Amino acid sequence: TDTTKLQNVDYQGQWNFHFNYQGYCIQDDFVAVQEPNYSGTPYGPAIRGYDVVNEEWHMTYIPVNQPRAAHWLLSGKFLADGLLEGTMETQDGSGNPIIQKVRFEQKSKDYFVWDADWSYDEGKTWVKSMGHAECKRIETPIESPNKSGW
């Protein structure tokens, strides 16, 4: 579902990841194939930094063509090998407060799944897969020089 809750949209695109700062930071950018002709498209850059003291990732996502409320600040930890989960408080496209739970799950060296679930009742119930992406590597990766899990 787009962030304005206007429509469900299937996107095809490219999610580019780049390691920075000796592998302790990942900069990524999602670019969909179709042009963003309405607010709510999932275009935008993110910066993910690894906190070695608390062994968690912190992320800031800045979606283009959307209001400030659509920006994300998220912290996440590895729950198991290849499974990262984080939560944040944010708003849906109508301004309603939500908790969003995001998961990155590595299925193989060249394939991962990203899911985002939303809760409108402070985590008592969840709307599953409000956002979903299945991603496969299309180029040889730049290896991370650290042991932070990515």
Distance (Å, rounded) from C-alpha 100 to C-alpha 118? Answer: 5
At residue 90, the pLDDT reads 80
- Residue 1, pLDDT score: 43
**Residue 10: what pLDDT?**
66
pLDDT of the chain, 150 residues: tens digit per residue: 444 454 556 667 778 888 888 888 989 887 776 665 545 566 788 999 999 999 998 999 888 777 777 778 889 988 888 888 888 888 776 778 889 898 988 888 888 898 889 899 999 999 998 888 888 887 755 454 555 554
According to the model, what pLDDT value does residue 49 have?
93
Question: What is the value of pTM for the model shown?
Answer: 0.70
**Three-class DSSP labels, the chain:** CCCCCCCCCCCCEEEEEEEEHHHCEEEEEEEECCCCCCCCCCCEEEEEEEECCCCEEEEEECCCCCCHHHCEEEEEEEEECCEEEEEEEEECCCCCEEEEEEEEEEEECCEEEEEEEEECCCCCCCEEEEEEEEEECCCCCCCCCCCCCC
- In sequence order, what are the beta bridge partners of 80? 83
